[in-house]
Structures are given as structure tokens and as C-alpha cells.
Structure 1
Amino acid sequence: MSDAAAPGDRNAAVPADRVTVVVVDDHSIFRSGLRADLDETVHVVGEAGDVDTAIAAVAEHRPQVVLLDVHLPGGHGGGGAEVIRRAAPTALGTRFLALSVSDSAEDVVGVIRAGARGYITKGSSGTEVSRAIATVAGGDAVFSPRLAGFVLDAFGAVAGEQAQTDEELDRLSSREREVMRLIARGFSYKEVAAELFISIKTVETHVSAVLRKLQLSSRHELTAWALERRLL
């Protein structure tokens, strides 16, 4: 059985008051049951059962919402989060809503960090899922009640980490930040000098200042520091 929606579904006119959705789950029986359980406010335009097929379906159908499981086969093993990261850049009008049997903090936080606008569990009724789809399509976020705490805790921590990173970067001049990013990306001193139109000696001076201000001992530690803070 193909994971794509039937041609008739793809070509049918969609009423303006219905939200177009692609359903992504590796169990076809679950997809069929969910599709039948959604109310009349939702119009399913496509389905997929793995990462790569999901990305293709999003590109083809351009749905308003992608309803996807967290754990999916295929791709590079990243599941629902990978679908979001790879599909979102070329599907600017599409929002992603996770629907999973998992209620672990790791799964919830991982898919939200990837860009999902909400996360609900498979214990939700068809009416609840339909309402969540409408909420996400309207630009708001939605979470099953017991999962909201995971998100608040995780993003409170992220905000703290960002504040610390900003404080560390404030120690550097604008030129030192430019040099830091290039060195952390693996540029040689000569390449940095050519990129920024400065002398190799000046690059060496800036690198020494960066390492001292960030309390690092080598360019390898600098690369690790920048990667950890997602500055590259």
C-alpha cells in the first residue's frame, strides 16, 4: 500500500474553511483510523510513513499543518525532528504538530526545538486532535496538559544558557567575534587574514585575545565552545 494520498484526494478542491493536513506515521492502520476520526474542519491531503516520504509529501502538498509522529524510520535516524528540520526551510507556510505515543521529556523537547508548534499524545480523541490542528494552523502553540511543564522547564534552561553566551560574547570586540567564528570553522590564520583583509599577525593577536577572554587554551577548545553554543 502506498503511503501517499490517493490522486483524487490530491486533486480535489479544498473548502476554504478546512485546514489542509499531511499525516505522518509509520503505521498505516493508525493513519487510516486517525483520518476517519478527524472532524470536518480538517482535510487530509497526503500521508507518509517515513522521513523521506514525509519530506516529499510536504513539498508536494504544501499543507497548512503536518501532523507527525516523533519516531519514524528512514532519513538519517532523526525521526519527526528530522522531518521538520529538512522540510521547514522550503515550506514556510506550513506548521508542524507532533502526535506521539511517547510522553518523554527528551522527545517533547527535541521535536519542539526542531520547530514543532505543539505536541499531543495519541491518547487524544479525534475531536481533540482536530482542535489542536486548528490551533496550530492559527499560529498558536498547543500541548497536552502534562507535557507543558517539560517545555517550560527546557526553554527556561535555554534562555539561561543564551544569557550566559551573550555575556561571554560581550567580552569580545566585533572584530574578535569575526575572527573567533572563522577560526572555529576551521579557517587557517592565513585564510582568516585574507577573508577579513588584515595581516596574519593581527589574526594571531585577535585569537590570543579571544582565547584569553573566553578562558580557553586552544583553537580546538574554541571550536568545541562555539559548536556547543550553536554559533557556527
Structure 2
Amino acid sequence: MTDGPCRVFLVDDHAVFRSGVRAELAGQSAIEVVGEAGSVGEAVAGIGRVRPDVVLLDVHMPDGGGVAVLRSVLGADPGGVADPARAPEPTFLALSVSDAAEDVIAVIRAGARGYVTKTITGDDLADAVRRVADGDAVFSPRLAGFVLDAFARAAPGPEERGEPVHDPEVDSLTPREKEVLRLLARGYTYREIAEELFISVKTVETHASNVLRKTQQSNRHALTRWAQSRHLD
């Protein structure tokens, strides 16, 4: 997370609920609510305008819901090369009344970093916001199991089937860059990667930048999906 308070944007089609969340977060340290929206269109425009660190995202809304917001924001430039001058994409934390497995899996596949239900307390919600901003994956109890089960049931890739794999983008990565890529895809923060590999945070940032450039991914969320599709996570 960058220096200063974590800048949060609220997306929910119920204005009363948004007011309640805003009030809960207002008393929390190191968190600042910088905007809110009640529809997909308003959310996409607002996120693009204020560039928050974290988006608290409702799953079900009349005009498409959380997945539509994720696809619009994170999928706007699929396969593009990261622009160093452009602000990083926000991290998304789903906040929903639903605890259905299909809802959890859908938003995680679309790029959300975590999923918590609306029964969460204000203190726990603030903690979840800070954690996803720092690169952690956060789930309400038992919801993480849905995601693990979904990926465990995924069809095996060529490596698991014993078939040779030739991918120019993967082959272009150095062994160290592959190590950094795997840890990024598993949700490690730069500081945690540095500790794991016994290198400096600055070196991790350099490797991560090289990985984004070589794989032609525009942000960390896209890179994670790219790594998962090649079973590199």
C-alpha cells in the first residue's frame, strides 16, 4: 500500500448501505472513502476518475453487478503493456449479502482479490480493506474453500498431462523472474517476496516490472490470471 491513508471507493446500489459502510470506515485509521457509486456505469466512471486503492464492490446490481465492473476496469486493455506513467489499477474486495459459491468464484475469476459478506463487522471490514491493499487475499470464513475447490477441479494443463509446453513469453522469463511471478500470483506482497527470496524490495519491483513487460500484461490482476492459465502459480 502506498504512503498515506488507503483510498476506498464504495460500489453498492443501496444508498443506505453505502452510508452505513462510509460511517463505519470513517472512524478507522489509515482509511479514507474517496467516492461511491450505485450502478456499474457510475462505478466505472468514478473509479477511473479518482483512482482509489481499494474498491468495495457489491456483487448483485440491476445493471450487471460486480463482474461487469471488474471486466470494465481490469479488462479495458487486455494484453496491453503496462504504462509506468499510469496509476495502478485498484484492488477489488467484494462485499455482498450472498455467500453462494458461484458468486464467490465468478468475482474472483474476474479479478477480485477477496470476498466478504455483509455480516462482517466494521473493524473486520477495515482490516480486510487494509490487507487486500497490501496484497493479501481475504475471504469470510468458509468462502475461501469455494475458490480452492473450483481451481482444484480445473482441467489439468499440458504439463500435468506430460505434454511439452512451448510458450515464448514463459521462455523469455529468467528463473528469478519466474520465481517472482509465482509468488505474485499466489498473492505475496513485494515485501514478502523480498523476504522469501532474500532480495531487496527494489529488486522485486524491477523483476515484477520485467515480468509485466515480457508477458505483456497491464497490471497485477491480469498477470495473476495469465499465470494461472499457464499453471505457473
Between 1:129-138 and 1:144-153, the stretch displaced more is 144-153
Deviation at 1:164, TM superposition (A): 6.0
1:163 maps to amino acid: G
1:142-183 Cα shifts (integer Å, max 9, x gaps): 00012111111011122xx14269749x48999xxxxxxxxx
Contact 1:41 1:130 in 2 (8 A): no
Counterpart Cα distance in 2 of 1:69 and 1:140: 19
Is the contact made by 2:159 and 2:165 (CA closer than 8 Å) also made in structure 1? no
Would the aligned equivalents of 1:97 and 1:119 in 2 still touch at CA under 8 Å? yes
CA deviation profile, 1:100-145 (whole Å, cap 9, x unmatched) = 0000000000000000000000000111110000000001100001
Q: List gaps (5 residues or longer) in structure 2.
A: 77-86, 168-228
The share of aligned pairs that are identical, in percent, is: 52
In the TM superposition, 1:100-111 aligns within 5 A as 100-111=96-107
Say yes or no: does 1:130 pair with 2:123: no
User: Higher helix fraction: Structure 1 or Structure 2?
Assistant: 1
Q: How does 1:153-232 map to 2 (within 5 A)?
A: 153-158=149-154, 161-163=155-157, 167=161, 170=163
Instruction: Determine the structure 2 residue equivalent to 1:178.
Output: none
| Structure 1 residues 162 and 86, CA gap change in structure 2 (3 angstroms) | farther
Q: How does 1:1-232 map to 2 (within 5 A)?
A: 16-38=3-25, 39-74=28-63, 77=64, 79-89=65-75, 92-158=88-154, 161-163=155-157, 167=161, 170=163
| Counterpart amino acid of residue 33 in structure 1 | G
Residues 37, 126 of structure 1: 8 Å contact kept: yes
- Structure 1: which 5+ residue stretches go unaligned? 1-14, 175-229
Q: Is the 8 A contact 1:108 1:150 kept in 2?
A: yes
What is the aligned residue count?
156
* TM-score (structure 1 length as normaliser): 0.61
Aligned match of 1:185: none
The one-letter code sitting in structure 1 at the alignment partner of 2:5 is R
Question: C-alpha distance in 2, partners of 1:60/1:166?
Answer: 44
Cα deviation, residue 61, structure 1: 0.7
Bigger relative CO (Cα 8 Å, ≥ 6 apart): 2
Higher Rg of the two aligned structures: 1
RMSD: 2.6
